């Protein structure tokens, strides 16, 4: 198939496919007429890359998965290097979740404090005007 068909079937753009090619993630085969030529294996590579990127993986982090597919494994995550990337990504996600939970706790404390202050101020006078523009 040609690059336009691959892009359409993979749900991406020809520009993206050319970029993958320039990064060595997608093979640069040419047909006799000079057009780029792709097959079903290339479609699988692009789908693997896009799925991983949808999960938040950087493009370079997809390389072990692509190499695993190219080595003939039916799933790109069956190789030791792919498993290592998964482990590293899970560690990163766990750290992000911990940070978000800490921020959430702080925001919750600020909200509780602000609600207490707002409730304490009401009996002493008019509600403060907080709108912009006056």
Question: pLDDT by residue (tens digit) across 13-58?
Answer: 999 999 999 999 998 888 888 888 999 999 999 999 999 999 999 9
Print the SS3 string covering the chain.
Answer: CCHHHHHHHHCCCHHHHHHHHHCCCCCCCECCCCCECCCHHHHHHHHHHHHHHHCCCCHHHHHHHHHHHHCCCCCCCCCHHHHHHHHHHHHHHHHHHHHHHHHHHHHHHHHHHHHHHHHHHHHHCCCCCCCCCC
- The per-residue pLDDT for 127 is 61
Least confident of 34-38, 65-69, 94-98: 34-38
Quick one: pLDDT at residue 29? Answer: 86
- Band of the pLDDT at 107, cuts 50, 70, 90? very high
Taking the CB of residue 132, how many other CB atoms lie within 10 A of it? 5
- pLDDT for 128: 59
Query: Tokens standing for 44?
Result: 């699988």
Put simply, whether the predicted model's pTM sits higher than 0.95 gets the answer no
Query: Confidence class of residue 103 from pLDDT cuts 50, 70 and 90?
Result: very high
> How much is the pLDDT for 133?
60
């Amino acid at each position: 198939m040609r690059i336009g068909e691959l892009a359409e079937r993979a749900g991406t753009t020809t520009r993206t496919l050319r970029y993958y090619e320039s990064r060595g993630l997608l093979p640069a085969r040419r047909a006799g007429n000079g057009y780029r030529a792709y097959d079903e294996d290339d479609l699988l590579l692009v789908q693997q890359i896009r799925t991983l990127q949808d999960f938040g993986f950087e493009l370079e982090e997809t390389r072990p998965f692509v190499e695993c597919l190219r080595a003939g494994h039916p799933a790109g995550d069956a190789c030791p290097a792919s498993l290592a990337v998964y482990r590293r990504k899970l560690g990163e996600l766990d750290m992000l979740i911990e940070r978000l939970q800490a921020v959430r706790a702080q925001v919750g404390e600020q909200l509780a404090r602000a609600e207490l202050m707002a409730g304490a101020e009401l009996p002493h006078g008019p509600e403060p005007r907080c709108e912009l523009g006056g």
